[in-house]
């Protein structure tokens, strides 16, 4: 029985880790067949995964003053660690007058050697006016820690106070977070951000957990998790029970958010003792 429980725990850990492995910011070189505006240029994908659903922004650029920003959606297969991403529209662009933005579709697969993470695949596309096909090509992206572009913070992160609830020192690279309604289920809806990147969006708190995970390592030893109350429910304020599982340690926190403040928890990595 203990062996079965252990195997189940390992399987759950792999599932949580796989989605977390793909969430985040990825940068690479997009190589086009002859005929494109630029033969090689930079691309950045800001990927957010919620279950099998993918959303995010893409930046195509030669530098940060010449770029195209697009909004994308897609589907993620956690078993195959593959994804299909469709750019839906151009949010803004600043490129030479003789160029036209290309709206692309990507087919990508996740690869890792245990140290470096990569997304590899191919893409096709059509021009923004939908009149011509873009020369297709291949793409390889590597995870990066910081975007080349200043992220657009949601107003609820900028305008509210992000109140620190607790600092927690952890000695493990993967932290599981479970959010429940605290007390009577009254329609409270939350979003959750890690270092200003959304990992949970507009999910209702119930007796069943909203489960997500946080990845932490020596390259990024501090991670700030912010819970945003998207409404006040029928019994204000918005309250949640947060269960944290970090290795063999477990923590229980009560978080409160309203129209003036969000709840923040800071995780700090400490090397395991010998």
Domain with residue 255: its CATH number is 2.60.40
Tell me the C-alpha to C-alpha distance, in Å, between residue 253 and each of 60, 180, 262: 41, 11, 14
Tell me what pLDDT residue 264 has. 96
Per the structure, the complete domain to which residue 48 belongs is given by 2-144
Percent of the chain with pLDDT over 70: 87
The predicted pLDDT at position 100 comes to: 85
Residues 207, 79, single domain; the answer is no
Q: How confident is the model at residue 267 (pLDDT cuts 50, 70, 90)?
A: very high
Tokens coding 13: 């850990």
Q: Are 73 and 92 in contact (CB under 8 A)?
A: no
Average pLDDT over residues 4-25: 51
Say whether both 167 and 139 belong to one domain: no
Instruction: Give the CATH number of the domain where residue 121 resides.
Output: 2.40.128.120
Two tokens at 15? 């599932």
Q: Is there a single domain that holds both residue 223 and residue 130?
A: no
For residue 5, pLDDT beyond 50: no
Whether 37 shows a pLDDT value over 70: the answer reads no
Instruction: Name the domain boundary from 87, 120, 144.
Output: 144
Per-residue confidence at 40, pLDDT binned at 50, 70, 90?
low
pLDDT class of 20 with cuts at 50, 70, 90: low
Asked if residue 270 lies in contact with residue 171, where contact means CB atoms within 8 angstroms, the answer is yes
Q: Do 105 and 183 reside in the same domain of the chain?
A: no
41 and 60 inside one domain: yes
- Does 274 map to a domain? no
Domain contains 96:
yes
What predicted TM-score, i.e. pTM, was given to this entire model? 0.59
Say yes or no: 35 and 111 in one domain. yes
Residue 97 CB: number of other CB atoms within 10 A? 5
58 and 137: one domain? yes
Average pLDDT over residues 83-88: 95
User: Distance between CA atoms of 194 and 226, rounded to whole angstroms?
Assistant: 7
Count of structural domains within the chain:
2
* Band of pLDDT at residue 6, cut at 50, 70 and 90: very low
Q: How many CB atoms lie within 10 A of CB 185?
A: 15
Name the least confident of 34-48, 146-160, 234-248. 34-48
Pair (60, 134) in one structural domain: yes
Residue 7: its pLDDT value, please?
Answer: 40
Residues 220, 160 share a domain: yes
What digits encode the pLDDT tens for the residues 165-220? Answer: 999 999 887 899 999 988 778 889 999 988 777 788 889 999 999 998 888 766 67
Mean pLDDT, residues 66-79: 91
| In a domain? residue 125 | yes
pLDDT at residue 36 is higher than 70: no
| Of 19-33, 48-62, 91-105, 166-180, minimum mean pLDDT range | 19-33
Q: What is the pLDDT of residues 92-118, one digit of tens each?
A: 888 877 788 889 999 999 998 877 889
Output the pLDDT for position 32.
67
77 & 129 share domain = yes
SS3 annotation, the chain = CHHHHHHHHHHHHHHHHHHHHHCEEEEEEEEECCCCCCCEEEEEEEEEEECCEEEEEEEEEEECCEEEEEEEEEEEECCCCEEEEEEEEEEEEECCCCCCCEEEEEEEEEEECCCCEEEEEEEEEEECCCCCEEEEEEEEEEEECCCCCCCCCCHHHHCCEEEEEEEEEECCCEEEEEEEECCCCCCCEEEEEECCEEEEEEEECCCCCEEEEEECECCECEEEEEEEECCCCCCCCEEEEEEEEECCEEEEEEEEECCCEEEEEEEEECCCCC
């Amino acid at each position: 029985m203990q062996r079965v429980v252990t195997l189940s725990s390992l399987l759950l850990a792999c599932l949580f880790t796989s989605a977390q492995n793909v969430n985040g910011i990825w940068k690479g070189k997009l190589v086009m067949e002859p005929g494109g505006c630029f033969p090689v240029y930079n691309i950045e994908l800001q990927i957010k995964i919620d279950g099998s659903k993918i959303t995010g922004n893409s930046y195509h650029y030669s530098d940060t003053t010449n770029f195209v920003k697009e909004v994308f959606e897609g589907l993620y297969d956690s078993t195959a660690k593959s994804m299909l991403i469709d750019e839906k529209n151009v949010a803004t662009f600043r490129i030479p007058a003789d160029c036209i933005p290309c709206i692309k579709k990507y087919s990508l697969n996740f690869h890792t050697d245990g140290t470096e993470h990569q997304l590899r695949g191919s893409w096709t596309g059509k021009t923004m006016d939908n009149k011509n096909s873009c020369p297709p090509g291949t793409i390889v992206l590597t995870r990066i820690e910081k975007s080349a572009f200043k992220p657009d913070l949601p107003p609820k992160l900028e305008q509210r106070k992000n109140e620190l609830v607790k600092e927690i020192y952890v000695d493990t690279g993967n932290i599981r977070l479970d959010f429940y309604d605290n007390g009577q289920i009254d329609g409270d809806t939350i979003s959750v951000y890690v270092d200003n990147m959304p990992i949970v969006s507009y999910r209702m708190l119930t007796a069943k957990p909203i489960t997500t995970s946080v990845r932490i390592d020596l390259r990024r030893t501090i991670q700030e998790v912010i819970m945003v109350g998207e409404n006040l429910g029928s019994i204000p304020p918005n309250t949640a029970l947060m269960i944290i599982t970090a290795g063999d340690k477990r923590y229980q926190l009560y978080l409160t958010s309203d129209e003036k403040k969000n709840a923040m928890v800071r995780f700090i990595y400490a090397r395991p003792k010998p």
